[in-house]
Copies of this chain bind each other. A is one copy, B any other.
């Protein structure tokens, strides 16, 4: 990695930001594929986000921003325009200056998630899907799942109103496939997705009763900390197909790269993916 005066600079904006793995992942890709770019972390508090973002783009060699906690929702409101999934989910995790000068946002969490399902060989179209959790992660995932045309996408949330709100936001676009699930009972679903934070703490209850999951169903848990999560362990014990959702980070990489105009790099990552997974896998 040789940073010069003509290097394109990208930033990942978060608070905290020390935990992000993106600089290691992307700088390795830039360096290996001779892309003159660098990704650096920027720790910006919520109160200062708006001023920071607007003024950062005064730098003409700023290639764009990665956006992480807790800024994804606030960032969406700071954009001149957003892509469809960012608008639906009310969140942004990628920001760039468009050719016309507008600052525009995109959201790749959901895209990454459903591409992760492809990677796992789990179909969505025509299937019955139960989503647990309607928070930030759930909103991103729900919109992208709905785009894949499931027979049913039911959303359960401890605070029911949040599920109602999410379904109401997506229903105008995706229609009657959407429903509020009155309980997290997994019986009768083909795919169960955990987007709650249950499992982050060691003594958390499981977000779903694993005993009631159908034998042929699959589970994905997007909790990013200690792997395998309690839910994944419980599924494994019962022989239920279950995957770690961190793959959504891996699958977003080519999306990010294309968004930032790095099409050629996005198209030539095949040999890097094993190493990228090793870097991104939660520890």
A5 vs B43: C-alpha distance in the bound complex, in angstroms?
9
Partner of A23, one of B3, B16, B45, B56: B3
Whether A1 sits at the interface, judged by CB under 8 Å, is yes
Whether B42 lies near A59 (C-beta < 8 A) is yes
| Nearest B residue (CB) for A16 | B5
Whether A17 lies near B55 (C-beta < 8 A) is no
Q: Flag A214-226 by CB within 8 Å of B: 1 or 0 each.
A: 0000000000000
Whether A267 sits at the interface, judged by CB under 8 Å, is no
Whether B6 lies near A40 (C-beta < 8 A) is no
Whether A159 sits at the interface, judged by CB under 8 Å, is no
Whether B7 lies near A40 (C-beta < 8 A) is yes
How many copies of this chain? Answer: 2
The residues of B that contact A17 with a CB separation of less than 8 Å are 5-6, 61
A22 vs B5: C-alpha distance in the bound complex, in angstroms?
8
A27 vs B40: C-alpha distance in the bound complex, in angstroms?
13
A4 vs B40: C-alpha distance in the bound complex, in angstroms?
8
Whether A134 sits at the interface, judged by CB under 8 Å, is no
| Nearest B residue (CB) for A24 | B4
A19 vs B21: C-alpha distance in the bound complex, in angstroms?
31
The 10 closest A-B pairs by CB, nearest first: A48-B58, A55-B55, A5-B20, A6-B18, A42-B59, A3-B23, A5-B18, A43-B60, A51-B55, A43-B61
